[in-house]
Structure 1
Amino acid sequence: MTLTLDPEVGAALQALVAQAGEPVPLAVGDVAGRREAMGQLFSVLGTLVPPAPEVTVESTSLQVDGAELELRMYRPAQPSGSAALYVHGGGMIGGSVEIYDPFLRSYVQASGVPLVAVEYRLAPEFPHPTPVEDCFAALRWLVDHAADLGADPERIGVIGDSAGGGLSAGLALLARDRGVPVARQILIHPMLDDRNTSPDPAIAPFAVWTYDDNITGWGSLLGDAAGGDDVPPSAAPARAGSLKGLAPAYVEVGQLDIFAEEDVTYARRLMAAGVATELHVHPGCPHGFEVFAPDSAVARRAVADRIRQLQLL
């Protein structure tokens, strides 16, 4: 069987290339080039998101190991009684709360669920465990300050996409082991396995996040340990020996995403461990399809599922 792009997604991708230009292939290890490309891409993609006038935004700071991290709180007009920590994507090396701002506002407006986003420190300047521990500190802050958002501390979830999805899965593992309540983990095309470095020839032509990108991201986070025997599950959740006792999970990925196999495997392991799990694999969709093709039918379905999951908190 020959894999093909969803027609609407393919048309949107062609339009984006016409507007922003063909992406320039970057060498493995070129972190600066990838950060610049992400910033330029999201500056275009953010304009595709409708405004969310009912959402109010407030920033505060969190001290972690002497560093001051921004926490940005997104509040709906009426509190839902729940809340979630959003962990942005960027391959462990890029992204920011600021470039995700339009998308976070949109989620809050549509769901009515407050979100708190954390400006976690990035690799390679801050390798593992700094990114996930920054996020865990933000999760603990959110549980402790849930009442300030009109939320029940027993109704706090974690949600993230790409690297943020992987960090969210790592957070769910840490929360289980450290006794912090997490009501739900919403993992959007999560980056879970540092061993995913051998290109699948069926997927590689459609890869928006490429295998070279993946090698760069994991190498930045883990250094020489990447792909070895001593990678902890909090860094690469696919390494976890046991998934028993984790929060209910939602796992979503496109069939043309290089993360598809690792994400489906993780979802199957969650189910085998007795964790309530919902899995969606979207045919014809590469990584991040809903961001560059927001008006496609498949993107509307995917975003509606995420909103529904937030509302289950």
Structure 2
Amino acid sequence: MSRRELIDPEVRVPLDQLLEALPGGFNAVADIVERRAAVKAMLAAIEVPDNPRVRKEDRTIAGVHGEPDISIRVYRPVDATTDLPGIYFIHGGGMILGSVDGEDPIATLLCDRVGAVVVSVEYRLAPENPHPVPVEDCYRGLVWTAEHARELGIDLDRLAIFGASAGGGLTIATALMARDRRGPALTFMMPIYPMIDDRNQTSSSYEITDIGIWDRSGNIEAWAWYLGGKPADQYAAPSRAEDLTGLPPAFIDVGTVDLFRDEDIAFAQRLMQAGVPTELHVHPGSYHAAETFAADAALSTRIWALRVDALRRALAG
């Protein structure tokens, strides 16, 4: 049986449509500029109505020590009258793609359904900006968020960090930095199918070669661009971290037809062994980002219900 036959039939429909329009998927577009344009065009074609319950504001974090400014987007429920829990949001894209705009619907969903202030960071991308630039941008945005919590209406005792794919890897890396640098205290972290191991030696990394969404060859390429020829440390590839103690309670989910399946399961087990309260979900038939490509599928509904419930419980106070 091929791996594609293991995909849930309902979430497979948009994947087949994507591959029909773009044979080989996004990673088949060799030029990174053209690839980013293709992703942007696809996301722009998805009509998502504005949510009148969420107010958005674009802000700028001033650069320090010669570094450029960082853009962020702040989401807040329009009817909020008191301080709310905060979710620091890191978009995905394999360290080489993605943007705040591209994941605006997800950040809006979290703001609305969790009842939280969401701060989404526009970190710089590889290959133009290899490690450690992206994670340093993410950490700087987290520090700014904590420093401006009162202004933003965030209860600092209820601050979570969220990200999917590369954003999931950066979520863990940023949490490691916050622990090691004695930075902002995080109540909870939710790395979704995180990209965390540059070695590409797990069984699932060899299995997922022709799904069309983040296959083995694309992952190897992205890691090479992200590392820029330098060895990976724990802030680049959190699977390499030797000490996981002191990290915030975690929620991790991944699909059975996702290249990151085995590295994510192994990392969740290590968190548990380190004494970190960890909730792990492995979704049968789900490929990488299936709940985004097939947002109305029953599988996607179940996935989002679990995530929202976990965030609400963690941030209830």
TM-score (norm 2): 0.90
The residue aligned with 1:52 is 51
Identity %: 42
Instruction: Give the secondary-structure state (helix, strand or coil) at the position aligned to 2:285.
Output: coil
2:222 aligned with 1:220: no
Deviation at 1:279, TM superposition (A): 0.4
The residue aligned with 1:283 is 284
2:166 aligned with 1:163: yes
- Picking from 177, 200, 207, the partner of 1:196 is 200
Q: Which region of structure 1 is more displaced relative to structure 2, 103-112 or 177-186?
A: 103-112
Rounded Cα–Cα distance in structure 2 between residues aligned with 1:14 and 1:233: 36
> RMSD in angstroms over aligned alpha carbons?
2.1
Map 1:30-49 onto structure 2 (within 5 A).
30-44=31-45, 46-47=46-47, 49=48
The residue aligned with 1:255 is 256
Deviation at 1:146, TM superposition (A): 1.3
Q: In the alignment, is the contact (CA less than 8 A) between 2:26 and 2:38 conserved in 1? A: no
Per-residue deviation, residues 235-270 of structure 1 (Å, max 9, x unmatched): 110010010111000111111010001100100000
Rounded Cα–Cα distance in structure 1 between residues aligned with 2:187 and 2:22: 42
2:243 aligned with 1:245: no
TM-score (norm 1): 0.91
CA 1:179–1:26: 2 relative to 1, 3 Å? closer
Per-residue deviation, residues 200-249 of structure 1 (Å, max 9, x unmatched): 55432325111121122111111223xxxx42101110010010111000
Q: In the alignment, is the contact (CA less than 8 A) between 1:38 and 1:90 conserved in 2? A: no
Aligned residues, how many? 306
Q: Following superposition, which runs of at least 4 residues in structure 1 exceed 4 angstroms of deviation?
A: 15-18, 23-29, 197-201
Q: In the alignment, is the contact (CA less than 8 A) between 1:28 and 1:215 conserved in 2? A: no
Instruction: Give the secondary-structure state (helix, strand or coil) at the position aligned to 1:215.
Output: helix
2:71 aligned with 1:63: no
Q: In the alignment, is the contact (CA less than 8 A) between 1:253 and 1:260 conserved in 2? A: yes
Map 1:117-132 onto structure 2 (within 5 A).
117-132=120-135
- Picking from 10, 13, 16, the partner of 2:15 is 13
The residue aligned with 1:89 is 92
Per-residue deviation, residues 152-184 of structure 1 (Å, max 9, x unmatched): 212111100110110000011111111120111
Rounded Cα–Cα distance in structure 1 between residues aligned with 2:142 and 2:272: 25
Amino acid at match of 1:76: P
The residue aligned with 2:104 is 101
Rounded Cα–Cα distance in structure 2 between residues aligned with 1:105 and 1:192: 26
